[in-house]
Structure 1
Amino acid sequence: MRHVPARRHPGQRAGPRCPRTGTVTLEFHDIHHAYGDLPVLRGIGLSVAPGEIVCLLGASGCGKTTLLRLAAGLEPLQAGRIELGGQVMAKPGREVPPERRGVGFVFQDYALFPHLSVAENVAFGLRFASRAERAPRVSEALALVGLDTYRDAYPHMLSGGQQQRVALARALAPRPAVLLLDEAFASLDARLREQVRDDTLHVLQNAGIATLLVTHDAEEAMFMGDRIALMREGRILQLGPPEALYFGPTDRYVATFLGEVNRLPSRVRGGQATTAIGALPAAGQPEGAAVEVLVRPEGLQIGTAAAHQAEVEACRMLGATTLVHLALPDGAGGVLRLHARLPAGRRLSRGERVTVAIDPERAFVFPPEAP
């Protein structure tokens, strides 16, 4: 099992302050943006504290990469204000050039120059520094990402993970106040992606600078982020620590985006949403209203002595957990099919009868999804 670094509170410094800029906060104020008649960002407000990693999470087209490009100065700001350390970096009609913002950017494809060595690629990010500064800065950045022995290698000689670390070193070499990463792990295969994410998290914590990371992968956002800003159609639906979004989603979309859920139809009676496997408090839902109970797979408790009987249709070990497929009557003449996740090692046989109950900490009540 991989080591997961201890999570910091938002804004808590995980390493030394940025040598050049000190403690700097990135702030977005009421950002609106459109491409022609198509609105892309609709009133975004967000801050990233020094030493904090904030993940912009959402489906393709929700506006997260556009927000990153506006922060980097790659697109002119149409409405709102972007500040860095209290200094205005962008507002309509006034843009600080990208090279003067103190912002590092890691692109999805890394954008390494194939004809330049690793050291020369990293030095390219220092083209505005004096010649005397470049060599020690390159060595410092390569040591930070663990590639100091590869300085004379070329990109084609490196693995995908090593190329990603070169791109990260190039972004960190100028000692930026803010680091922006756009789907930086998307091109790696699953196993390598886990290792590179782990390595990158340690590097970012040691760098101690404000970091904004774009991803469409909920697991990645929960692993990397001190806070997650879940976006949909140009708005932030919920902002907070990963555990707040996972265990306390304020919106059906948030609940389903952060992980798999079982869907149980219900109706509110006496303040409770009753389902075929138990009832939950339905605070805020009107009496008699049709609702849907969403239960995470690990929120289904499997036992042998309760009223709710289900049949095991399949049981598969998936490493750290075991996935169980269940079928049980829905109380209306139909069949409910549910997924449960159990600790690794527990084994159930196909056709076995078990009992099912709901863990209320991992279940949520929302109005039915609109057609």
Structure 2
Amino acid sequence: MMEPMDGRKPVDVAGRFRRLCPAAWMARAAAAFLLLVVCGSVRGERIKDIVEIQGVRGNPLTGVGLVIGLAGTGDTGLLSRQMLTNILRESGLVLSPSDLSGGNIAVVMVTGELGPFHREGMRIDVDISSLGDAKTLQGAMLLPTPLKGLDGQVYAVAQGGVSLGGWSVAGKQASLSKNHQTVGRIANGAIVEKAELASFVEQVAGQRFITLSLRNSDFSTAQRISDVINQSYADSAFVLDAASVRVMVPPDITQRNVIAFLDEITQKEVTVDTPAVVVINERTGTIVVGENVGISSVAISQGSLVVKVKETAQVSQPMAPFSDAGSTEVIPETMVGVEEQNAYLIPVERAVTVSELAKTLNAIGASPRDLIAIFNALKEAGALQAKLVIM
């Protein structure tokens, strides 16, 4: 939009150009979009998005509990009644399992995860799964259940109403349900009773170290992480292996500033190096091609044999109508046709990018199943310069 100096109405130059030259405008817009794509493709990834900090992890918690309030859809076995008997005895009621009837209670497994920075009094989510023959946990209420870690200590206590995210209705002859009815969740359903403090700063010979673990192991990416950290803190980072980079905390960084130091180095961006891999899932026909996959110069021909089978029924009628000379019969007739589709030998030049590779293979007009066969054949011929992974 251009603003005249004499105060007249502004002239929309871009709008006029768009109306007069639509093709040129579209080409210009496409070029601008391509420029944005190219500029965006060179952007790196933050270190914090591609690594885990060694020592910062969660711990699984489990416990066996009892849910009540089921409308006749609970367990019918002895285990649930025995657990209810034990709970009632703690309340001063002395009963035996034979005195109780099942149907409104169910034994469940309660699982959760204690985060690395959860403290006493904080709440965590828990999942509830039926252990018996309960038909549904709809309307269930979990009684207080201690959750233990692998060391046998109680770290949290869970209780509350179970949410299934669905429903179930049933009659005498039919039933209807939405989602899985024997697995539920209690949001903020457990209170942390004991914290498991995460320790991510390692003391070695009077020096403090932090280890960054790559989610996808790669020597090139690990070296790039080390290099970009050393640009700000010289000789502080070094590569242990393809999955680990150790960072020395500088002596001038005080204990209270370690978090700020860690935040600074993990905000830096690096270019992630991806290996040349082709992943094939033959069950679903899914093919994923990595960025650096290349194909040597080859010629590809993909043809297929089509077999058509058609079943028809012929009615055989006696020659003399209304006579006992024969009977009317239905005779099946099968017609089989074989057709071999034409296969052409298509030369494929060396492709070095995913877009070139996709364009080349799409020119053949092959289906996903054909592409799976082509990639397998390219690997056998030594023309696929990538690792082939078949799921």
Which range, TM-score by smaller chain? under 0.3
> Relative contact order (C-alpha < 8 Å, sep 6+): which is higher?
1
Give the TM-score normalised by the residue count of structure 2: 0.23
Bigger Rg over Cα: 2
Give the TM-score normalised by the residue count of structure 1: 0.24
